[in-house]
Amino acid sequence: MRRFFLILLRTISTLMIIAGLLIGVRAFLDKKLVNNGPAEYELPEPITVESVSYDRYAYQHISEEAQKTYDQIYNCIVNFDKKVTLITEDEDVLSTAYEAMMADYGGLFWINGYQYNTYSTGDTVASLEFLPRYTMSEEQKENYQNSIDEIVSQWLSGVSADSSDFDKALYVFETLIEKVDYDENSRENQNILSVFLFNKTVCQGYADAAWYLLDQLGIRSTIISGTANNENHAWNLVFLDDAYYFMDVTWGNSKYLNLNQDTTKRVNYAYMAMTTEEISQNHVIKSSFEIPECLSNADNYYVHQGLYYDWFGVDSIGSRLAESYRAGDKEFSLKFSSSDLYNRVITYFFDDKHVSEYVPEIDSIYYLLDENANVLTIQWN
């Protein structure tokens, strides 16, 4: 046990909330204890915890001191302990460790930030004590977990453990968009309860749930925080077939005004497996740990499905449009390697009306443009 005679207690509430709410805001409250004589306080010695997170991405990209702190706070949370004396005496190390842990584990639905006590001798910080902010009892947590396990088992029954990384990620992407609506007023929308129990969420819930489902399928992913179009946002870094990609389920859940003037939900596959260059068009990463540059497009949906063009293949593109129409498809999408090629195709087929040479049966055509992703989508009548 360690003893301190002059103690400054500092409490911090940290909220890790994305999607239009507060991010990383801390409220400081300093209290200095005044006693008639020197009071003596005892704290347990910090104990090094064996790591179970050595293969997690964020864990691998923080300092050794932050890793040891991460191990301690993760162990504290999963065991529902009230507090733990930390190895670090640095508040910034604690903040980094907590952020990394939350990025590596999207299933911690029973906590909402943390508090810590700073124990000082004079002006020197002698010890930090971590106190998780639990939002429910341990019994409630176990009941919720049982419900989640049952629902997740049902949701994942449609994908095989032997499927490729691409097919598993695609299944998770499509399933979340199909089953879960975006709703800023949804209950518990900063964790997976909103997704699996209430089927309504915001970006943080989507990112956490994507992490959870991918983890069940053996796919490594990490929750990334930042902004999209200058609004607070969360999405995923995923490791598919030996390469890193970004996946944004929230932006993949698109809505558009259809031919009947009704708002319809659709899957926008442009956001399933993106490169750094692609996601940087409108997303800015704010995570404090290093993020890899994603360069591969092998598992991009359009590349993988043969719907990607890096050349102005007029007859090839026209033939694909005709095949889709005559097959009775409701819609058909193509992705292009650059904005110049994308605009050239639109001008040729639609502005100059060459599409009628390949699909003469139609009098008019309805199409959707995603200029950020260079994706063209045809809505057939």
In this prediction, residue 120 has a pLDDT band, given cuts at 50, 70 and 90, of confident
What lies within 8 Å, CB to CB, of 299 at 6+ separation is: 165, 166, 169, 240, 241, 243, 245, 273
Indicate whether 101 pLDDT > 80: yes
Which of these ranges, 7-16, 45-54, 187-196, 239-248, has the smallest mean pLDDT?
7-16
Give pLDDT, residue 362.
Answer: 87
Distance CA 322, CA 300 (A): 24
Torsion (CA) 88, 287, 185, 231 in degrees, nearest 10: 140
Q: Record the tokens describing residue 144, joined without a space.
A: 């919720």
221-280, pLDDT tens digit by residue?
999 999 999 999 999 999 999 999 999 999 999 864 444 444 678 899 999 999 999 999
Fold of domain 136-296:
C8orf32 fold (3.10.620)
Give the residue among 303, 311, 230 at the shortest CA–CA distance from 269: 303
Q: Beta strand pairing status for 41-43 and 2-4?
A: antiparallel
Residues of the chain within CATH 3.10.620.30 domain(s) are 136-296
Give pLDDT, residue 34.
Answer: 28
Compute the C-alpha angle 14/17/23, nearest 5°. 65
Distance CA 201, CA 180 (A): 7
Give pLDDT, residue 11.
Answer: 38
Give pLDDT, residue 122.
Answer: 80
Q: Record the tokens describing residue 226, joined without a space.
A: 């930042």
Give pLDDT, residue 87.
Answer: 96
Crossing angle of helices 203-216 and 165-179, in 10° steps, is 140
Residues of the chain within CATH 3.30.1370 domain(s) are 306-381
30-89, pLDDT tens digit by residue?
333 322 334 455 677 888 999 999 999 999 999 999 999 999 999 999 999 999 999 999
Give pLDDT, residue 25.
Answer: 29
Is CATH 1.10.1740 the classification given to domain 306-381? no
CA distances from 219 to 161, 189, 215 (A): 11, 23, 5
8 Å CB contact between 235 and 224:
yes
pTM of the model: 0.86
User: Strand (E) positions, 102-183?
Assistant: 111-121, 124-134, 181-182
8 Å CB contact between 220 and 237:
no
